[in-house]
Amino acid sequence: METPSVDPTGEDISQLQQQWERNPQENVDSTTQFRQQTQDPPTEAFELGMNPDPASQFLENPQGTAKLVTRLEGGSDISHESTHEMPEFLQASDLWYCPDGSFIKKIIIRGHGLDKPKLGSRCRVLAFGFPFGSGLPEGWTELTVGVGSWREETWGELIEKCLESMCQGEEAELQLPGHSGPPFRLTLDSFTQGRDSWELETSEKEALAREEHARGSELFRAGNPEGAARCYGRALRLLLTLPPPGPPERTALHANLAACQLLLGQPQLAAQSCDRVLEREPGHLKALYRRGVAQAALGNLEKATADLKKVLAVDPKNRAAQEELGKVVIQGKKQDAGLAQGLRKMFV
């Protein structure tokens, strides 16, 4: 019996994926489409009509963070670049490093008090220097932490992280690794009181997670897997704070996140997301298929074969699994032929 188009958890984003699976030439789950250089934007992103994210372009340089820290801290390297300007001396407390390494905040004017924006805080913000298309208007604007479409872009995510680290009245510059242009400036004039996630009731967390889940599915169907992945990730972070085993919706969120990660050329992360699904539901066909595709992209052909055969054992007519397994078999034969040729050369 063929796998139904609706996910066992009730998720409906597989309809779009089935359209991709019908055309093997455009199948976004194809093994070969994940073999791309890390500095190139994912091929799948262009097929879905996505534009390379401006913030992501600044993060491409792996040495950018080290150079940025040196410049902000007034290290010796910067003195070799210019003999006319010397950076002002900064104390360690003037710099704040985002834990995920996405940016460094340099405090220009210190705020007052100890409170910082939390979930639901309405923030009056002055933004300056952010690129066109960032979704953030120049000048004064009001942003609500945890709410609004402004958070769906990479810039919105960075700004939200920065706001959650600021005190009232604080003015700061944001520097991104690899970005050599002027820094982006953000001022937090005022904000209303919000709540930490641990202060929310279980029902409130589940309601917020459902909203993020629904918005993520909308973005996925609209061809924006990057924005969808951020929504699914935020929903999972809310639900992970609940006592185990947690709501069943976590399974659908991990499965959907894996689909996004495959489209974004992140097979390692996709395999990990599928692992989370299969820990709860070992027979989840979509997770088995997506993990098989991810393992094939990583070159783990035996693991890929095992997962795809499990799918076909339950659903022998699954065309996508049949095609992917065929590609894995061909890839395995090529590897064996290459290995045999290498061994012959060793003994010539």
Summarised one tens digit per residue, pLDDT across range 253-295 is 999 999 999 999 999 999 999 999 999 999 999 999 999 999 9
Question: Would you list the domain boundaries of the chain?
Answer: 14-50+199-346, 64-191
So what CATH class is 64-191? alpha beta
More confident residue, 158 or 293: 293
More confident residue, 16 or 259: 259
**Mean predicted lDDT score pLDDT of the chain:** 76
**Model pLDDT, residue 116:** 92
**Does residue 300 contact residue 34 with C-beta atoms inside 8 Å?**
no
Which tokens sit at 144?
């609500």
Tell me the backbone φ, ψ of residue 168, rounded to 5 degrees.
-60, 135
More confident residue, 277 or 6: 277
**Does residue 285 contact residue 265 with C-beta atoms inside 8 Å?**
no
Interval 190-221: pLDDT, tens = 999 988 877 888 898 899 899 889 989 998 99
Q: What percent of the chain has pLDDT over 90?
A: 39
**Does residue 305 contact residue 284 with C-beta atoms inside 8 Å?**
no
Interval 120-145: pLDDT, tens = 899 999 988 887 666 677 789 899 88
Which tokens sit at 337?
């032929």
**Does residue 289 contact residue 308 with C-beta atoms inside 8 Å?**
yes
Q: Is CATH 1.25.40.10 what the domain over 14-50+199-346 is classified as, yes or no?
A: yes
Mean predicted confidence (pLDDT) in 46-55: 36
Q: How far is CA 126 from the centre of its chain?
A: 27
DSSP-derived secondary structure for 315-334: -TT-HHHHHHHHHHHHHHHH
**Model pLDDT, residue 315:** 95
Burial 158-188 (b: 16+ CB within 10 A, else e): bbbbbbbbbbbebbbbbbbbbbeeebbbbbb
DSSP-derived secondary structure for 58-113: HT--TTHHHHHHHHHHT-GGGGGT-SS--PPP--GGGEEE-TTSS-EEEEEE--BS
Q: What pTM did the predictor assign?
A: 0.61
Band the pLDDT of 155: cuts 50, 70, 90: confident
Mean predicted confidence (pLDDT) in 46-75: 42
DSSP 25: G
**Model pLDDT, residue 191:** 95
What is the rounded CA–CA span in Å between residue 86 and residue 80?
A: 10
Band the pLDDT of 91: cuts 50, 70, 90: low
Interval 19-44: pLDDT, tens = 444 443 444 333 333 333 333 433 33
**Model pLDDT, residue 243:** 82
Strand 122-128: give its sheet, edge to edge: 95-97, 104-109, 171-175, 184-191, 122-128, 139-144
**β-pairing, 122-128 with 184-191?**
antiparallel
Mean predicted confidence (pLDDT) in 335-348: 62
What is the rounded CA–CA span in Å between residue 294 and residue 268?
A: 7
**Model pLDDT, residue 333:** 83
**Model pLDDT, residue 348:** 56
More confident residue, 329 or 86: 329
The 3-state DSSP class for residue 172 equals: strand
Band the pLDDT of 17: cuts 50, 70, 90: low
**Does residue 60 contact residue 67 with C-beta atoms inside 8 Å?**
no
